[in-house]
Structure 1
Amino acid sequence: MSVDTRLEELGVSGLGEVDEVAFSGLTERHRRELHVHCYRMLGSFEDAEDTVQETFLRAWRRRETFEGRSTFRAWLYRIATNASLDLLAKRRPEPATGGEVLWLQPYPDRLLDELPAGDADDPETVAVAQETIELAYLVAVQHLAPRPRAALILRDVLGWPAKDVAELLGDSVNSVNSALQRARAGMREHLPAERQDWSGGEEDAGTRELVRRFTEASVATDVGALAAMLRDDVRCSMPPTPGLYVGRDAVVADWVADGFEGMTGLRGIPTSANRQPAVAFYHWQQREDAYLPLTLDVLRVADGAISEIVTFHADQFPRFGLPERLPAEGTE
């Protein structure tokens, strides 16, 4: 339903005459897609939440400025993009460096499922939607300066014309095209040129079996079995803790140094994040007589092996709808 139709139903001629409750109804239907847009811009689920709230507040305060020259949705995207740029200028004036993003947070697939279906019959549209939410893309885009980042997302993800992007950013079309070229070049520094070499793609039976074996080996703290599942060039990180380990030997050495082999009392349950397989691990706590949240591993699989592990802290569990605790085995 267009905003004009909704205004007609409300018996008003413009947004300036809409009360706060009705205005909230108009904006809320766009919340999830705006949240994902801000998440791409910011790399942080929590920052995206704050920015969407700021977007709706700005939209309400500026509702009389909506003239209908663009769609209501596009108007909200403009506000959300500017709110994201403002937050970046305040909190993170410099982009990420060194291949890791300490503020990176995962995005639950169960929430991504709330996005509008879009053109589900267009394979290219479906591929872009999936690839540009994967953690590899999020990490790469966070290495771009904010304005080229916005130009890239608006042009390559949302498909906005250069003229509209230029208007939003207050630049010329030539400036936007130049920024877009720089942004694409920057992305190539962090992602292989060929899509199939960096995108995890659709999860198949082989991937599910690999994730099952990864979970079992992790619970058993079998470092040898885990090492056999890793690609030679595997990458491992644990935001917000600094440290990026690249290569099987470096990753395994870090596990051994951390005493992983000596751990006991682990359980893992499957989940998914950023359209990638993930495993939530719990650790037995005798005093609680239960398994409590420990870490969330988000995996990337390429060519039948694990190419990346991004481990997040247990504070991410609630938004995934994961249990707060697991009972002792045999008592469920």
Structure 2
Amino acid sequence: MTPGLDASRFTAETERFRRELLAHCYRMTGSAHDAEDLVQETYLRAWRSHAGFEGRASVRSWLYKIATNVCLTARRPRPIRVLPSGLAGPSDGSGPPLRAGPDEVAWLEPLPDAWTTPPADDPAAVVVERESLRLALIAGLQHLPARQRAILILREVLAFTAPETAEILDTTTAAVKSGLQRARARLDERDTGSERLLEPSDPRARALLDGYIAAFEHADVGLLEQVLRTDASLEATPFPAWQSGRASCLYVLGAYVLGAPGDWRMFAAGANGQPAAVVYRRDGDGIPRADGVVVLATTATGVAGVVKFGDPALVAAFGHPAVLAS
């Protein structure tokens, strides 16, 4: 077989799995950018070993074996990625929020929906993909030991059998079953957002997102009060402190964040199967510059949670420029 034909065969056999492998690597690491790099490494290793792949397993399980082991190897020297609520309880609301130092915390990152959404002709797959990428679940997964995280994802998200999971991880079926029990127990100890969220396509979810955007662009605390639930939470990296309860959220946003009308510009987006917005803030020269991404947990009774990722570099992942024309 000529090299060109071999490359064509490799692409035909493997490329259709790229999106789901990216989602898998993101679930394992909590970082969209790390997931991109790990998928690239997965395909590089798969290409190198493709000639020796004899079809003893499906192409899909073969790729997941490579990707999972790439993630496990890559995770060893890295701290887990977290949200502020994974560090401590909510703030008492006294004093302005203080930033964490650049090397103090590894923060969870949002995942653009466009990177992983399955084809629209498979609506069931779209719903499953969204639910398995919700921010609360991803945050909870990061607190599991790496191999337990891999077992739970392979078994309960990707529906591999216990023997298939054992083959992927080079372990025994008994070890998989035991690891899954421990992972479930540890995950149950954490609040992983079991409440039913609205689908991003639901008009109620879009109305809540539009209301949140309007509140910021008009610096209107009253509009925020209309969209937030009484038990809403507010998290914003790189600030370790977070707020619980609408009154506390409104105080912090009104006192330290909203500013004046026109200070903020936001553009609707989708992340982690949830309504989101790309965020810009005007600097001292009046130029709107990338500020990060905000993701909402929208329910039938309002916004239950707000997570703002204060990393300007994330804006590019959502297809937006670093600076807007003022």
TM-score (norm 1): 0.81
Question: Displacement of 1:156 after TM fit?
Answer: 0.9
Aligned position for 2:306: 309
Once the two structures are superposed, what CA deviation does each residue of 1:78-115 show, in whole Å capped at 9, x if it has no partner?
000011111111213x67585268431111122223x3
Gaps of 5+ in 2: 88-104
Aligned position for 2:218: 220
Counting only pairs closer than 5 Å after superposition, residues 40-59 of structure 1 correspond to structure 2 as: 40-59=27-46
User: CA 1:315 to 1:95, structure 2 compared with 1: closer, same or farther past 3 Å?
Assistant: closer
Whether contact under 8 Å (2:221, 2:250) holds in the other structure is: yes
Counting only pairs closer than 5 Å after superposition, residues 1-332 of structure 1 correspond to structure 2 as: 11=1, 19=6, 23=10, 26-92=13-79, 99=86, 102-113=106-117, 115=118, 120=122, 123=124, 125-191=125-191, 195=194, 197-262=195-260, 264-285=262-283, 287=285, 290-312=287-309, 313-328=311-326
Question: Displacement of 1:204 after TM fit?
Answer: 1.7
Letter in 1 for 2:114: R
Report the 3-state secondary structure (helix = DSSP H, G, I; strand = E; otherwise coil) of the residue aligned with 1:277: strand
Gaps of 5+ in 1: 1-10
Once the two structures are superposed, what CA deviation does each residue of 1:120-175 show, in whole Å capped at 9, x if it has no partner?
36x4x543222011212111111211111111110111110001111222332222
Once the two structures are superposed, what CA deviation does each residue of 1:231-290 show, in whole Å capped at 9, x if it has no partner?
233222223443332222332333245253457532222111122111223233474x64
Question: Displacement of 1:219 after TM fit?
Answer: 1.0
User: CA 1:178 to 1:263, structure 2 compared with 1: closer, same or farther past 3 Å?
Assistant: farther
Aligned position for 1:3: none
Distance in 2 between residues matched to 1:63 and 1:256, nearest whole Å: 57
Distance in 2 between residues matched to 1:269 and 1:46, nearest whole Å: 21
Identical-residue share of aligned pairs (%): 37
Q: Which of 1 and 2 has higher RCO (CA within 8 Å, sep 6+)?
A: 2
Report the 3-state secondary structure (helix = DSSP H, G, I; strand = E; otherwise coil) of the residue aligned with 1:282: strand
Q: Which moved more, 1:156-165 or 1:29-38?
A: 29-38
Whether contact under 8 Å (2:81, 2:108) holds in the other structure is: no
Distance in 2 between residues matched to 1:22 and 1:210, nearest whole Å: 47
Distance in 1 between residues matched to 2:133 and 2:257, nearest whole Å: 33
Q: CA RMSD in A?
A: 2.9
User: CA 1:117 to 1:219, structure 2 compared with 1: closer, same or farther past 3 Å?
Assistant: closer
Question: Displacement of 1:191 after TM fit?
Answer: 3.7
User: CA 1:192 to 1:88, structure 2 compared with 1: closer, same or farther past 3 Å?
Assistant: closer
Distance in 2 between residues matched to 1:325 and 1:131, nearest whole Å: 32
Letter in 2 for 1:224: G
Report the 3-state secondary structure (helix = DSSP H, G, I; strand = E; otherwise coil) of the residue aligned with 1:87: helix
Distance in 2 between residues matched to 1:177 and 1:155, nearest whole Å: 10
Whether contact under 8 Å (1:206, 1:304) holds in the other structure is: no
Distance in 2 between residues matched to 1:259 and 1:266, nearest whole Å: 10
Distance in 2 between residues matched to 1:17 and 1:130, nearest whole Å: 37
User: CA 1:272 to 1:27, structure 2 compared with 1: closer, same or farther past 3 Å?
Assistant: same
Whichever of the two has the greater Rg, that structure is 1
Aligned position for 1:8: none
Whether contact under 8 Å (1:52, 1:80) holds in the other structure is: yes
Whether contact under 8 Å (1:235, 1:245) holds in the other structure is: yes
Letter in 2 for 1:215: I
Distance in 1 between residues matched to 2:323 and 2:163, nearest whole Å: 52
User: CA 1:285 to 1:256, structure 2 compared with 1: closer, same or farther past 3 Å?
Assistant: closer
Question: Displacement of 1:202 after TM fit?
Answer: 4.8
Letter in 2 for 1:272: G
User: May I ask how many residue pairs the two structures share in their alignment?
Assistant: 307
Letter in 1 for 2:108: L
Distance in 1 between residues matched to 2:198 and 2:252, nearest whole Å: 25
Letter in 1 for 2:107: W
Whether contact under 8 Å (1:219, 1:265) holds in the other structure is: yes
Q: Which moved more, 1:154-163 or 1:223-232?
A: 223-232
Once the two structures are superposed, what CA deviation does each residue of 1:273-309 show, in whole Å capped at 9, x if it has no partner?
122111223233474x643222321111113311111
Report the 3-state secondary structure (helix = DSSP H, G, I; strand = E; otherwise coil) of the residue aligned with 2:107: coil
